[in-house]
Amino acid sequence: MKPFRRKIRIPEQLIWPIAALFILLIFNFLFTENFFHIEIRNGKLFGSLIDILDRASPLMLVALGMTLVIATGGIDLSVGAVMAITGTIIAGLLAMPDFSILSWFNLPASFSLALCIALATGIIFGACNGILVSFFNIQAIVATLILMVAGRGIAQLLSNGQIITVQNDTFSFWGNGYFLGFPFTVFIVIIGFAVCWILIRKTALGLFVEASGSNPVASHYSGINIRMVKFMIYGFSGFCAGLAGILVAADIKAADANNAGLYLELDAILATVLGGTALKGGRCFLAGSLIGAVLIQSVTTTILTRGVPVEYTLVVKALVIVMICLLQSAEFRRMIINRFRKTGK
C-alpha cells in the first residue's frame, strides 16, 4: 500500500502574485546592485530585502484584516482613518501635549496602558462598521466610507491638527527595534498571520467567513450566524488597522493625523486583490495578501533604489497595477491565447 503523502499544493490564485514577485526579484538580482546584499551590524540584519519586509509590515497587517473582510463579501475603506486615530491616541497618551484633548484625561504615561486603549479604540471603530454592515444591512463600501471621511477629522480633533512627537523607549522599539536580528515589526506580522491562519484554516471560523461571503442566504439557512461573523470580522479589521497605525507612529516616533495611513486602504485592497482574493468575496488567501503587500513594497523600493525620479513612482505603480489586473483577468488571458493560436496556424 502506498504511504499517504501530503502534497504541498499552491492554489492557482497564488501562482500569479508569486510569479510577479519572483520576476521582480530576478530583475533586481540582475540589474540592481547590492539588492540581495544583507549584512550583520551589531547583531542586526541590514539590507534592501529586510527593509522591504520592515516597510511593508503595516500594510501586511492591514491587508490581513482586509482579506477577511473581503472574504465576507465586504470592503473596509476606513482602515487608513483608523490608523490615524490609533496612532494619535497612543502618541497623545504617551506624550500628553497641552494642545491635545487627550491631555484632559489624567492618565499615567504607561506604554501598555496606552497600547491597550489605542487597540481598543481600533476595535471599537471596526465594530461600529460591523454594526452598520451586519445589523443595518448597509452596503459595506458606504458604511465604511462614513468612517473614512469622519475618522481623519476625529484624529485631527484629538491632536488639534498638530503632529505629536513622542520620546518613549518602548514605543520606539515597536517601530524601530530589532529582535533576534530581525525588525520587531516583522515578528508582529508573523504572530498576526499565524493567529489568523490557525483561526481561519484550522477551525470552522474560516468556513463560516467564506460561506457568508459566497452565499449569504444559503449560509443563513444552514445555521451560520452571518451577522455575528461579519460583525466580528469588521472588529478584527479595526484591530489590525489599529495595530498598523501604532507601528507607523512608532516608526517615526510621532503621530501625524493628516497623513498617517493616507490612501493605505487602497494599497491594502490592492494587496488583497493581487494576492488572489477576489473582490466579490467567498474565498480568502491570507498568505497571498502578505505576498501582495510585499509585492507593492518591492515595487516602491525597486523604483527608489533604481534611481527612478520620485515623480515617476506613482506612474510606474499605476502601470504595474493595470498589468497585474490584466494578468489575473480571464478575458485577457483568453485574448492572448487566441492571438497565439491564430499566429500558430
Residues that bind another protein in the complex, under the rule CB under 8 A: 75, 132, 136-139, 141-143, 145-154, 156-157, 160-161, 262, 266, 269-270, 273, 279, 310-319, 321-322, 325-326, 329-332
Q: Which is nearer to another protein, 122 or 206 (CB)?
A: 122
CA angle 70, 251, 284 (to 5 degrees): 15
- Dihedral, 48, 12, 238, 51 alpha carbons, nearest 10: 0
CA 154, distance to chain mean position in Å, is: 22
Q: Which is nearer to another protein, 37 or 280 (CB)?
A: 280
Give least dist CB 144 to another protein, A.
Answer: 11
Strands 39-41, 44-46: pairing is antiparallel
Q: Which is nearer to another protein, 116 or 279 (CB)?
A: 279
CB count within 10 Å of CB 326 equals 13
Give least dist CB 76 to another protein, A.
Answer: 13
Distance CA 180, CA 37 (A): 19
Distance CA 326, CA 34 (A): 31
Give least dist CB 122 to another protein, A.
Answer: 17
Give least dist CB 332 to another protein, A.
Answer: 5
With contact defined as beta carbons under 8 Å apart, do 123 and 239 qualify? yes
Give least dist CB 151 to another protein, A.
Answer: 8
Q: Which is nearer to another protein, 52 or 128 (CB)?
A: 128
Give least dist CB 149 to another protein, A.
Answer: 5
Distance CA 177, CA 312 (A): 32
With contact defined as beta carbons under 8 Å apart, do 44 and 181 qualify? yes
Q: Which is nearer to another protein, 138 or 252 (CB)?
A: 138
Cell 490557525 locates to 198
Q: Which is nearer to another protein, 142 or 194 (CB)?
A: 142
